[in-house]
């Protein structure tokens, strides 16, 4: 199997796996509950995109790029981490953000400005179109831009999470029965699914959709996971039926914080001292809390919550006052 090159400075060591005994006890769940802390990666405020960027920006360096450009929503964790990695490695960061420009910078958007990223505003629907147009304009002007899609979720970016699975079960020798995490652009889940096939993980991988309908996300993840195995020169056909998605919690819409997300954030902070965000990890933890309280898992099940980061979003003006209200 092909071993991809990455930037070691972005992935200096395995992220911790910690027990959540107090949290499980609080919920009355007789399971072995743990958390994989990808919110503790080396970029400011951490997050799962750091793993993807370690591989993507190695590719950018190998192509002689000068500019790294990507897109996301106003409070995009991916954009914030891309801008930080770009500054760390000497690239100019360009971000296309969809939505209304906030009157007061806060959360991830504040960090984008702190990093002096060049920001272009557009509608949510026109983000990729705008990014493509800017990319072509830069190339025509003799610049050397490197294009990164939503969430870094192409085959190369997703492959980072195939190796994250290897990190968990081989480097850390940790074999949970179930892994639960937030899933949206599909890259993290596709990598984990591909990694399970390639490195022999036999447990369940449950993606809690934060926005996509179940069938659409399953198809996206299966296609991308298959591409990952092909990129790693160990091809496997992965079908949507092999992908585990729960979309019940996606119904309110992307970035819409309900009482469930708010309760998950407050409970995790006050019981375990761990910070979640309103969009991704808060929604995924809300789902996991309901599963644990309802007896979804058998007694003694080893359940791992994979924390994909995103904590700056709780400082966004639209969320912070609401969380503590």
Tens of pLDDT, residues 27-64: 999 999 999 999 999 999 999 999 999 999 999 999 99
Quickly tell me which residue has 């870094």 as its tokens.
Answer: 152
DSSP letters for 61-116:
HHTT-SEEEEEEETT-HHHHHHHHHHHHHTPEEEEEEESPPPSS--HHHHHHHHTT
Average pLDDT, the chain: 97
122: helix, strand or coil: strand
Quickly tell me which residue has 């924390």 as its tokens.
Answer: 307
pLDDT value at 237 more than 90? yes
**Per the residue annotation, which of 25, 76, 153, 321 is the catalytic one?**
76
pLDDT value at 321 more than 90? no
Q: State residue 183 phi and psi, 5-degree precision.
A: -130, 135
> Which domains does the chain show, CATH number per domain?
8-47+154-323 (3.40.50.1100), 49-152 (3.40.50.1100)
Count Cβ atoms below 10 Å from residue 199 Cβ, excluding itself.
Answer: 16
Mean predicted confidence (pLDDT) in 74-84:
97
262: helix, strand or coil: helix
Over the stretch 259-286, which tens digit does the pLDDT of each residue have? 999 999 999 999 999 999 999 999 999 9
Structure tokens at 168: 């968990």
Count Cβ atoms below 10 Å from residue 318 Cβ, excluding itself.
Answer: 15
Outline where DSSP puts E strands in the chain: 17-19, 32-37, 67-73, 92-98, 118-122, 145-147, 178-183, 204-209, 244-246, 302-307
How are beta strands 32-37 and 302-307 bridged, if at all? parallel
pLDDT value at 213 more than 90? yes
Over the stretch 143-189, which tens digit does the pLDDT of each residue have? 999 999 999 999 999 999 999 999 999 999 999 999 999 999 999 99
CA count, 13 A, side-chain hemisphere, 262: 12
Asked about 76 being catalytic, the answer comes back as yes
Over the stretch 108-137, which tens digit does the pLDDT of each residue have? 999 999 999 999 999 999 999 999 999 999
Q: Which residue pairs from 199-202 have beta carbons closer than 8 angstroms and sit at least 24 positions apart in sequence? A: 199/162, 199/165, 199/166, 199/169, 199/170, 200/169, 201/165, 201/168, 201/169, 201/175
Length of the chain, in residues: 325
Mean predicted confidence (pLDDT) in 233-247:
98
Give the model's pLDDT for residue 266: 97
Mean predicted confidence (pLDDT) in 207-226:
98
300: helix, strand or coil: coil
Q: State residue 86 phi and psi, 5-degree precision.
A: -60, -45
How are beta strands 178-183 and 145-147 bridged, if at all? unpaired
pLDDT value at 325 more than 90? no
Quickly tell me which residue has 């360009």 as its tokens.
Answer: 94
Edge-to-edge, what's the strand order for the sheet holding 32-37? Answer: 17-19, 32-37, 302-307, 178-183, 204-209, 244-246
Give the model's pLDDT for residue 37: 98
181: helix, strand or coil: strand
Share of the chain above pLDDT 90, in %: 98
Share of the chain above pLDDT 70, in %: 100
161: helix, strand or coil: helix
Contact at 8 Å (CB) between 205 and 193? Answer: yes
């Amino acid at each position: 199997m092909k071993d991809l090159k990455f930037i070691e400075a972005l992935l200096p060591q395995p992220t911790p796996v910690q027990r959540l005994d107090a949290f499980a006890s609080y919920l009355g769940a007789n399971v072995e509950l743990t958390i994989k802390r990808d919110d503790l990666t080396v970029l400011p405020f951490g997050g799962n995109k750091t793993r993807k960027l370690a591989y993507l920006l190695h590719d950018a360096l190998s192509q002689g790029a000068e500019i790294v450009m990507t897109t996301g929503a106003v409070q995009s964790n991916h954009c914030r981490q891309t801008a930080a990695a770009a500054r760390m490695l000497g690239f100019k960061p360009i971000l296309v953000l969809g939505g209304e420009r906030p009157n007061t910078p806060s959360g991830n958007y504040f960090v984008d400005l702190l990093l002096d990223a060049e920001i272009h505003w557009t509608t949510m629907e026109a983000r990729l179109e705008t990014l493509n147009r800017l990319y072509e304009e830069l190339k025509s002007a003799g610049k050397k831009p490197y294009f990164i899609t939503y969430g870094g979720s192409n085959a190369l970016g997703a492959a980072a999470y195939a190796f994250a699975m290897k990190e968990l079960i081989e480097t850390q020798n940790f074999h949970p029965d179930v892994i639960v995490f937030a899933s949206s652009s599909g890259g993290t889940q596709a990598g984990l699914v591909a990694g399970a096939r390639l490195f022999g993980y036999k447990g369940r991988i449950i993606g809690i959709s934060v926005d996509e309908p179940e069938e659409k996300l399953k198809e996206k993840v299966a296609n991308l996971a298959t591409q990952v195995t092909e990129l790693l020169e160990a091809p496997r056909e992965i079908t949507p039926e092999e992908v585990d998605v729960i979309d019940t919690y996606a119904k309110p819409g992307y970035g819409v914080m309900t009482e469930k997300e708010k309760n998950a954030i407050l409970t995790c902070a006050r019981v375990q001292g761990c910070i979640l965000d309103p969009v991704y990890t808060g929604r995924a933890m809300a789902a996991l809390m309901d599963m644990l309280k309802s007896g979804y898992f058998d007694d003694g099940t080893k359940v791992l919550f994979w924390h994909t980061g995103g904590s700056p979003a709780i400082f966004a003006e639209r969320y912070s006052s609401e969380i503590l209200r």
